[in-house]
Amino acid sequence: MNRLILQKEVQLFLEKNLSESPTKIALKKSPFEGISSSELAAQLDGKQRTRIKIPLWAGTPGVYFPAKLNLEQCSSEKTALFKSSLIKEGTNLVDATSGFGVDSFYFSRRAKQVISCELNPDLAQISAYNARILSATNVEVIATNGVDYILNNPQAHFDYIYLDPSRRVQNKKVFLLDECEPNLVALQNDFFERSDVIISKLAPLLDISSALSMLVHVKDVYVVSLQNDCKELIFIQEKGYIGEPVIHAVRLFKEEQQIISFTYEEERATLVDYSAPLSYLYEPDVALTKAGAFKTIVDRFDVKKLHKSTHLYTSDQKIPDFPGKIFVIKQVESFTEFKKRKSPLIADIIAKNFPLKTEEIKKKFKIKDSGDTFSFFTTTLNDQLIVIHTQRILE
């Protein structure tokens, strides 16, 4: 951390060049002694990169930004704020893998105290400095291995242990839960000697059923999407819990939040009505499809499914609170009829449970993107291949 960057004139320079290319700044000679052009470019890149992801940091004067990789790996402001709602007020929490400290900061808004552990001493210094700038006075940042800190304090007891295991080990990406560092699977019983609740942020690509088979006492699983992009899987383990985990599909969009909760037993027991396309077509948010709420959608909303393996839904009446995209159906035709078309189609293409992929369809039939009309290539009742031409209803 180069503290010369915190000088008023340097901060003013960064604000003045906020719309400038960091690459261009990096190629110019630095106007400040003791600060390289690459350091200036890195700070500028950090300000630009965080404007949408963590706007509080981007908009607070004097915040110091770390390396690009640390910013890419940190939670967004909205997902961190949601996670903070999962803990009780006035509690204490240890963040074993704090990184840039975004999650620690938002936990501190509800917790009485947050111990934030970061193995990289430079990143820990940056996180501690920013915590002061952001007035998070109840965050204590410690440059240490978080697992060692937890396990080597036999007298310490935390209301919550939080960790975000790294999916990159020795510069290689890993995909299995027990390959991540720290290894939650191996550590969970030791952690339960220090806390009754473990909260872990896991990779969105992780198979939920596989994780459930490896973790004990899982009470809740939160599948969190932001603007229809699956961002995080949050597992909450509560010491002694032996019931079935509750799965929560969490949809964060615009400034709103929608949560659909269910168990896999409820999902399996739900009876589904099927139908040919009616007046409206629904594409569920990725949080619901990742969570596996395919039948639950039919149970909670007055819709019907097109096909057992087609995760598209339909209704005669518009369901305004449906958790996903809503389309009004303009025309339905069989794929056989579509192939006989003389005029080229102009529409955005979506293939769902269809023999051809989206790009293959576009290339084969020379389809141009539209932006406001959508054609779904899919399978419906009796395994019929159809094309549903629609207009998106914007929220």
| Of the candidates 79, 116, 80, the residue with the CA atom closest to the CA atom of residue 95 | 116
| DSSP H helical ranges for the chain | 8-16, 22-27, 37-53, 55-58, 68-73, 77-84, 102-108, 121-133, 146-151, 184-191, 208-214, 264-269, 286-291, 296-300, 335-339, 358-364
Q: What is this structure's pTM?
A: 0.93
Give, for all 395 residues of the chain, the pLDDT tens digit. Answer: 888 889 899 899 998 888 889 899 899 898 988 999 999 999 999 999 999 999 999 999 899 999 888 888 889 999 999 999 999 999 999 999 999 999 999 999 999 999 999 999 999 999 999 999 999 999 999 999 999 999 998 788 999 999 999 877 667 777 788 888 999 999 999 999 999 999 999 989 899 999 999 999 999 999 999 999 999 999 999 999 999 999 999 999 988 999 999 999 999 999 999 999 999 999 999 999 999 999 999 999 999 999 999 999 999 999 999 999 999 999 999 999 999 988 889 999 999 999 999 999 999 999 998 878 999 999 998 899 999 999 999 86
Contact 185, 214 (CB under 8 A): yes
What CATH architecture applies to the domain 72-243? 3-Layer(aba) Sandwich (3.40)
- Domain extents in the chain: 3-65, 72-243, 270-393
- Answer CATH for 3-65 from 3.40.50.300, 3.30.930.10, 1.10.10.1110, 2.60.40.10: 1.10.10.1110
